[in-house]
A and B are shown apart, each in its own frame.
Chain A
């Protein structure tokens, strides 16, 4: 089982989340390219199709008619909902696939490749070894000029059992490790920070055109191994600091309301990291 958190996908109709707005703006630029008759879009962990909720308003009929959409999710119920929504948008083609994210490589064809891949609000829910493979395999499915857009929150509110939220710099380190293992040293995608009311989010865009290594596929296994190793290194570091913080709170107690909230968040994080690392708390 690849999904590690107890979260649920949301579908707020007629609402565009800021991160989806950012993704759709990138998609818009691809659709505007007159040389492209079609734009192939893969939406990983599509949930109930929130990113499509306002697509009828966001994009013109003409632009939508160029879109080939493939949603991928672990829940058949969510995928069905997303497909129904996508089919109502008069796209060039709409489909969804259901399966464990660990089977992404088998279930999502490696050809034809995609012009745009989105992976939003879900990194914290995926078991790190699968997340490493997912990032590598999604990158390998980018067409020339294709973009992988990843977005997630630095903390999850309300807390989710088992979730592992990543901070911006942590994810940056993970991406750089992956790119280096793929032979793309020198390409350092910017990882942006986006403050929200209750937390901060980060996003990264990996663009195929800046990855000059011609034989990416041959480095897949090495890249997965290196990226998994970086995930593990960071998780062990976080687990240790989490444990120390909980030790101090056990000794001194929580002194403020904010610290009481921290305490709860640390307990959730401790559980998530211990579980992912298979460490007995």
Chain B
């Protein structure tokens, strides 16, 4: 029932959006990330749906940092959020990022830099399972700058990410 409600709202939302070209390659594997809203490129019903292979075609970024939620130094690898935004043609507005348990945070596009945050898909060289905050986790290099050790950034560090919506 929840699913149907969700589907309904999606359909209503999409109907209101301007028609976009489905000019992105379609996902072939399981979808891991769905981006909707004010985007220029889409592949499935005006949304940009990524499987893991598609994410891996984007440049890989990695760093080491400690986090509040892990023990000791942890290395992360993934794609820069900025690269994803560029791939879908989102230049402004706010990203509403949601987790599989519907936890949602807002990240202004302006706050996204070329290197931080990343959408991590590997932790310590291993893919992350859902039980380990996987498969995708928005991670900042917390150790590199005090700017990344704030309440706001911690709250934006959303794990078990599965969808994003770009809104104005």
Whether A associates with B in a native complex is no
B residues lining the A interface (CB < 8 Å)? none
